Amino acid sequence: MDRRTFVKAGCISSASLLIEGLDPMVRAETAQPPVPPIELHGLPGYKPSPLGLPGLFPGRVVEARDPAAIVHNRVSQPVVRRLLELAMRELTGENSIRDAWAKFVEPKDIVGIKINPSGAPACCSSPEIVREIISAVQSVGVPARNIVVYDRYSYEIDIGSYQALLPPGIRIVGIQEAFAAGGEYEPNVYCDANFFGEWETRSYMANIVTHEVTKIINVPTMKDHSASGVTGALKNLAYGTFNNVARTHRAPYTFTNPLIGLMCTVEPLRSKSVLHIMDGMRQVWHGGPLTQVQDFIDQSGILLAATDPVAMDTVELEAIERKRQEKGAPSLWQQDPKSITSNSEEFYHDASKNLFFRQPGHVAAAGKLGLGVAELNRIDHRRVWA
């Protein structure tokens, strides 16, 4: 069996497992269209790394928190520095910060920092956290010129003003422009599936991931997502690395489950993604990923660190679910057709409305693909306080 056949077979089996095994009630009530066959093509001959997902510490998530981390919507650089240090020590068991980071990056690495600027300026990867990560990576001996902060859309990076806010010497790259096709993508590494009869059925992996960086530090935000339930470590990697992903949504349906997890299994994305630092300074509990409505953004002052994106997103999912409950909003798992609206204004201002039947099951599905631990009782959730 060659790699292509193997992957295809594996995916079909995973996909059907998800539909039949995880959310039977969802399937019955919402008539989600069946998942089509999905073909995955990784980089031929790529040797998987032991640092790859779920990484050095499967199932471990460190949550660092300080109410002073964000005050009047401004993130405190010194508090964030302390939180990141605490989290990295706890995650790795190392006393020295430099040793903690050296578990993931070496001086010869080209380090990609995958930010999430979508939702800027209201909620995106905080430049303050990104600055601390850059500084930590440099402390291991990686020169500034070998650090690249990137995301898919350059216009979203502009809105976040990352160019002006990050230190000189590092590169800041938007893989493609907002409305144009193009960008640099590897034609031999892709996911192929026809979800809704679209004419282009492939999503290609960005060259920056395939060929340029040797390690990825993932900096997702803590948000609900109208299609996938939450957008966390998994989605930031998957939908921020492959192009042509909007085709997986056609309201009210979405194939984020199982596609998010499947994309994260594709090499070299899986092997290069060695560490996830989730920015929970702001927590969007409704209207994600793009909302600018402050009523639905809680200033939580949380930072999570993990090598296991599934465990991290499970913790995130619980946190957002708890917040929604606290605010009287319906569960992320709710699949009531009455909650669906096609009016985006209504969605942005009413927490009981949604554009899609959310698919938070994509996190557990990724767990079943071997990307990490999705069962809460198996997650080693450690809390540290500044």
Partner 1 sequence: MKKETVPRPHFADWPTLLKDNARSGGQAQRVVHAPERALWQYRAGASARSSPILFDGVLFVTSVDGVLHAIDAATGLAKWKFRAEAQVHSTPSLCAERVLFGCDDGKVYAVDRHAGTKVWQTSAEAEVWASPVSCNGAVFFGSADAKVYAVDAGSGRTRWVQELGGRIYSTIYATEQRLYVGCGDAKVYCLEAASGKVVWSRPTDNGIDSSPAVAGGLVLVGSEDFLFYAMDANTGEVRWKYETGLGIASSPAVSGDLTIFGGKDGFLYALDTQTGHLRWKAAAGELVTAPAVIGEGIVCIQSGGTLAFDLASGKLVWRAALGGSLQSVPVLAGDRIYLASLGGEIYALQ
177 is an interface residue for partner 1 by CB under 8 A: yes
Question: In this chain, which of 34, 108, 179, 377 binds partner 1, going by CB under 8 A?
Answer: 179
180 is an interface residue for partner 1 by CB under 8 A: yes
Question: In this chain, which of 168, 342, 345, 377 binds partner 1, going by CB under 8 A?
Answer: 168
* Closer CB to partner 1, 151 or 308, in the complex: 151
Give the footprint of partner 1 on residues 293-332 (CB under 8 A): 294
- Mapped to the 3 state alphabet, what secondary structure does the chain carry? CCHHHHHHHHHHHHHHHHHHHCCHHHHHHHCCCCCCCCEEECCCCCCCCCCCCCCCCCCEEEEEECHHHEECCEECHHHHHHHHHHHHHHHHCCCCHHHHHHCCCCCCCCEEEEECCCCCCCCCCCHHHHHHHHHHHHHCCCCHHHEEEEEEEHHHHHHCCHHHHCCCCCEEEEEECCCCCCCCEEEEEEEECCCCCCCCCEEEEEHHHHHHCCEEEEECEEEEECCCEEECHHHHHHHHHECCCHHHEECCEECHHHHHHHHHCCCCHHHHEEEEEEEEEEEECCCCCCCCCHHHEEEEEEEEEECCHHHHHHHHHHHHHHHHHHCCCCCCCCCCHHHECCCHHHHHHCCCCECCCCCCHHHHHHHHCCCCCCCHHHCEEEEEEC
Spatial CA neighbour of 273 closest among 250, 240, 322, 227: 240
Smallest separation (angstroms) from partner 1 to the CB of 378 = 40
- Amino acid letter, 143: P
* Phi, psi (rounded to 5 degrees) for 38: -125, 125
143 is an interface residue for partner 1 by CB under 8 A: no
* Closer CB to partner 1, 74 or 322, in the complex: 74
* Closer CB to partner 1, 96 or 163, in the complex: 163
Smallest separation (angstroms) from partner 1 to the CB of 161 = 5
Question: In this chain, which of 28, 29, 107, 155 binds partner 1, going by CB under 8 A?
Answer: 155
144 is an interface residue for partner 1 by CB under 8 A: no
74 is an interface residue for partner 1 by CB under 8 A: yes
Size of the site for partner 1 (CB under 8 A): 22
Question: In this chain, which of 178, 181, 246, 376 binds partner 1, going by CB under 8 A?
Answer: 178
Write the burial class of residue 172 (CB in 10 Å: 0-12 exposed, 13-18 middle, 19+ buried).
Answer: buried
Smallest separation (angstroms) from partner 1 to the CB of 361 = 33
Pick the piece of the chain touching partner 1 (CB under 8 A) from 90-98, 152-160, 190-198, 218-226.
152-160
345 is an interface residue for partner 1 by CB under 8 A: no
163 is an interface residue for partner 1 by CB under 8 A: yes
122 is an interface residue for partner 1 by CB under 8 A: yes
Smallest separation (angstroms) from partner 1 to the CB of 128 = 9
Question: In this chain, which of 292, 325, 331, 343 binds partner 1, going by CB under 8 A?
Answer: 292
Smallest separation (angstroms) from partner 1 to the CB of 111 = 18
* Closer CB to partner 1, 179 or 199, in the complex: 179
Pick the piece of the chain touching partner 1 (CB under 8 A) from 155-163, 279-287, 306-314, 375-383.
155-163
How many other C-beta atoms can be found within 10 angstroms of the C-beta atom of residue 169?
12
Between 28 and 67, how does the x/- string for binding to partner 1 read (CB under 8 A)?
Answer: ----------------------------------------
Task: Tell me which residues touch partner 1 (CB under 8 A).
Answer: 73-74, 121-122, 127, 155, 158-159, 161, 163-169, 177-180, 292, 294
